[in-house]
Structure 1
Amino acid sequence: MTRIAVIDIGKTNAKLALVEGETLAEIAVVTRPNRPLPGPPWSHVDLDGHWDFFLHHLSAFHAAHGVDAISVTTHGAAAVLLDDAGQVAVPMLDYEHPGPGDLAAEYDALRPDFAQTGSPRLPGGLNLGAQLHWLLHSQPDLAARIAHVVTYPQYWGWRLTGEMASDVSSLGCHTDLWDPWQGRFSELADRLELAGKLAPARRANEVLGHLRPDLAAGTGLRPGTPVAVGIHDSNASLYPYVLGRQRAFSVVSTGTWVIAMAMGGDRMPLDPARDVLVNVNALGQPVPSARFMGGREFELVRNGSDARPTDADRAAVLSRGLMLLPAVEPGSGPFQGRAMRWTGDAADEAARMVALSWYLALMTDTCLRLIGARGPAIIEGPFGRNPDYCTMLATLRPEGVQIAASATGTSAGAALLCMDNGAAPDTRPVTPDPALAGYAADWAAVVEGG
């Protein structure tokens, strides 16, 4: 058996998972919160805290089970700036820090058009290029101190192997720095005077290098343990299906962000104003995508509730027509700028949870429609365990909805980068409920009416 340790960093949690390569089953998992550290100089990622956590548990995983290879997947809109000695030149900016918004007008004059990059203009630091622009202007001596810019998965690869790279899926995640049609850096790299400093782009499934001897000695792992280049997390969810499916399909990666990605769908004009973009998969192929901050919205609205709805609760929400309308997080998604509102008062927490889950499914369907998705929609991640979300989405998607067997597709997809051969994970179909169709039509009519 091949056992792969996966460093998996989402916006909310950092995780180390041990995955069996042949089955993609998770053997062991440990997590820690991915809480940004406060300034000075700005809100930043706890790189050293994560590093100590990963090394400790790599050692424990190897002692208990054995580790044959290491892979990495992280959230997008993130990079680390290194100096000549390979040390962090400035703390890694949290992409939700408001600083880049202060220079929005200046950055807008620099960034390439959507037609070149497939990257919409996003608020704050959600465009990596905007982060880099703000950092360079807020730290006048920084340009002279930067020797290398590495995308986030490859920062961990650098620390593990001493080899530098970027990966095409992270560069293709609304950075403004990548031309997905030509497979090369965009004009922005030159405009920021970073063209010679951005680490070379590699495919995610290549071997970046091998575990440094000192780390092998410290963790007990075998010297020469291979480390994959690594991948953007939503593309990690997509990767097993890119390898294992030939016909049209879509993957809905759920976490802090809900990201819908279409393979082989209808050609559609993509509207950047609705948070539609072009991602780049592990093989370097452009992937029409749309997204909203569904996991964040879920946590905000449920407000800690663990209510478990019954059929009576669902019937009550249907009969009353209780709806949640977009947008809970108005800064992103297909209904940016709108204010969330309820069409009535929820009778209790269970009713609120039903309407919330249906809202998230209706938002997901909107995203899938915006990118011309065809074929089955495969739900990856925690929303696959929400029956109300899954049933509503299945009702809306005539070509079917399937749930991935793995509780988190990112770790499985990242592990597959280390395997010579792999099949798509097992899925199971979701049964639609025709009784929900009228509710969905009413929601769409209200939303389209503004």
Structure 2
Amino acid sequence: MQKIPVAAIFDVGKTNKKLFLFDENYKIVYEKSARFTETVDEDGEACENIESLRLSVHDSLRDVLRFQEYQVQAINFSAYGASVVCIDREGEPVCPLYSYLKPYPEELKKQFYDTYGGEGRFSKKTASPVLGSLNSGMQIYRIKYERPELYSRISYALHLPQYISYLVTGQCFSDITSIGCHTNLWDFRKNDYHEWVTKEGVIDKFAPIAPSDEVVPVSFLGNNYKAGIGLHDSSAALIPYLVNFQEPFVLLSTGTWCISLNPFNTTPLTEAELQKDCLSYMQYKGKPVKASRFFGGYEHEQQVKRIAEHFNQNTARYKTLPFDPEIISKLQREQGPAPGERPGINHLQESVFAQRELSSFASYMEAYHQFILDLVTQQVSSTQLVLEGADVKRIFVDGGFSKNAIYMNLLAAAYPEKEVFAASMAQATAVGTALAIHRHWNTKPLPNDIVELKYYAVTHDTKL
């Protein structure tokens, strides 16, 4: 029996660690998922268990390479960002994989920004809002000043995708999609590391930068393979869209965070945009992607619980609610701004619906429509930050809200001059990670039908 050529993709999320095998048509032919119990660092803060991750990568790869029906041609890796593994000369971790949620010392933060031009000026150069440990470069800075003896033992500080690649290849690289995502490391204006990285000597702790779409030869279990150097997961998830669509678009990636990504907006970030949680990602070809975000999915979870409790309904009821334009018209006539809403409310940070009295709604249906109306108002405030300065005609929505008919119809109403689509594809991050190294393993042309689209036309009089 002739073996089916496949690519093996490790997709390491904060919660789930997955391994996929894709055939040459990018169909999933095998899938495995694992969860690890977190451990704690020296301060008692929860963090990733590196040893469990290392064992899982080797064991999982060993298993799939033994399959009789598949021939693994290439291996690649994606993982969540803002996480760094510091290894010594033997390749062993010298400290825990610190959580990006770990509180950052205020004095050390002040020392850093005072030395390098102040928060506003620095953030504009690095396209990085001030986020403490979420700025992964600050994790290295902290180790240098708080634990100098440990810092001296670091041979390389590898972002998590590159560490997982190292576990398979034995080679150390840095990757622009990890370096260029709110790390405080990259100066977007000069397209190089920020001067602090050199002045502090931190440059010596970073491996050479390799192209995100390159591979290195690997021998494992007596066979030869090609392995990528790994990608930041948000950048990987954008790749299928960049491959399938050449006309300018914005991608709304909706989950716990609702992130608006515009790969076609090259305008530099302003201080005002940075204060509104705007930032720049770096896509796998090394070009900046302007992004904005708000906590939409989290807010949805909280308000659905509140509505369901008030109307004595199951929290899952919203999943079957159809869009009713007449309810929206009634709400816009009768409800208006929330009672007590302050002028100039920050729609990116504050929920208007949380201020509304649920007793003013006749039903669960009405209350949920009003909530989504308020949520889409927040979404538009966020998305506008990346739309301005770029001629975009299409908006793609993927993730949870792409399946929400009320959200999709209201978003289409908010952008009548644009084409709004619900986009769906299985495992966008893993597919993008495989697509990045397509030319190294796949004999077929790049596919043009990976993303399924559902168009939302404006068929009602609703205006936002």
TM range (shorter): 0.7 to 0.9
Q: What residue is the counterpart of 2:40 in the other structure?
A: 38
1:387-443 per-position Cα deviation (integer Å, ceiling 9, x unaligned): 3333332332332122333133111111101211524533313314554844xx3xx
Q: Distance in 1 between matches of 2:112 and 2:205?
A: 19
Q: Does 1:306 align with 2:316?
A: yes
Is 2:380–2:414's contact at 8 Å kept on the other side of the alignment?
yes
Q: What does residue 356 of structure 2 align with?
A: 343
Q: Which string of whole-angstrom CA distances, capped at 9 and with x for unpartnered residues, describes residues 25-54 of structure 1?
A: 333333334664334333211222233334
Residue-pair matches, total: 422
- Using a 3 Å threshold, how does the CA distance of structure 1 residues 173 and 210 change in structure 2: closer, same or farther? same
**Structure 1 residue 185, shift from structure 2 partner:** 1.2
Contact 1:96–1:126 (Cα < 8 Å) also in 2:
yes
In 2, the alpha carbon distance for the partners of 1:260 and 1:371 equals 7
Matched-pair contact (CA < 8 Å) for 2:409–2:458: yes
- Give the 3 Å change call, closer, same or farther, for CA 192–266 of structure 1 in structure 2: closer
Give, in whole Å, the separation in 1 of the partners of 2:225 and 2:149: 38
Go from structure 1 to structure 2 and tell me whether the alpha carbon gap of 1:345 and 1:334 turns closer, same or farther (over 3 Å shift).
closer
In the TM superposition, what is the alpha-carbon distance from 1:120 to its structure 2 partner?
A: 1.9
| Structure 1 contact 309–353 (Cα < 8 Å) conserved | no
Contact 2:348 2:382 in 1 (8 A): no
- Change in Cα spacing, 1:249 to 1:91, as seen in structure 2 (3 Å) is same
- What secondary structure, in the 3-state scheme, does the structure 1 residue paired with 2:212 have? coil
Aligned to 1:409: 428
Distance 1:357 1:228, change over 3 A: farther
Q: How many angstroms apart in 2 are the aligned matches of 1:334 and 1:180?
A: 28
Residue 81 of structure 2, aligned match among 51, 54, 76: 76
User: 1:415 & 1:359 partners in 2: Cα distance?
Assistant: 38
- Identify which of 9, 20, 30 aligns with 1:6: 9
- 1:312 offset after TM fit, Å? 7.9
Partner of 1:280: 282
Measure the CA separation in 2 of the matches of 1:16 and 1:323.
48
**Unpaired stretches in structure 1, ≥5 consecutive residues:** 326-332, 442-450
Cross-structure match for 1:368: 383
Mark the runs of 5 or more structure 2 residues left unpaired by the alignment.
Answer: 306-313, 339-345, 440-444
- What's the secondary structure of 2:112's corresponding residue? helix
Could you report, residue by residue, the CA deviation over 1:270-304 in whole angstroms, capped at 9, with x for unpaired residues? Answer: 41001111211100011211123444444444459
**Residue number in structure 1 paired with 2:402:** 384
Q: What does residue 226 of structure 1 align with? A: 226
2:210 paired residue number: 202
Q: Specify the code of the residue in structure 2 equivalent to 1:396.
A: A
Instruction: Judge conservation of contact 1:381–1:407 (CA < 8 Å) in 2.
Output: no
What SS is found at the alignment partner of 2:145?
A: helix
Q: 1:257 to 1:166 in 2, by over 3 A?
A: farther
**What SS does the corresponding residue of 1:50 show, helix, strand or coil?**
helix
**1:215-248, Cα deviation, whole Å (9 max, x unpaired):** x33xxxx622211122111111212333343321
Q: Which residue of structure 2 lines up, in the alignment, with residue 444 of structure 1?
A: none
Q: CA RMSD in A?
A: 3.2
* Distance (whole Å) between structure 1 residues aligned to residue 31 and residue 107 of structure 2: 39
Instruction: Give matches, 1:115-126, under 5 Å.
Output: 115-122=124-131, 124-126=132-134
Moved more, 361-370 or 166-175: 361-370
- What TM-score results when the alignment is normalised by the length of structure 1? 0.82
Give the counterpart letter for 2:139 in structure 1.
Q
**Partners of 2:367 and 2:80 in 1: CA distance:** 29
State, as a whole percentage, how many aligned pairs show the same letter.
24
- The answer as to 2:187 corresponding to 1:187 is no
The answer (yes or no) to whether the contact 1:148–1:199 under 8 Å persists in 2 is yes
Asked if 1:167 is matched to 2:202, the reply is: no
* Structure 2 SS opposite 1:164: coil
Alignment TM-score, normalising by the size of structure 2: 0.80
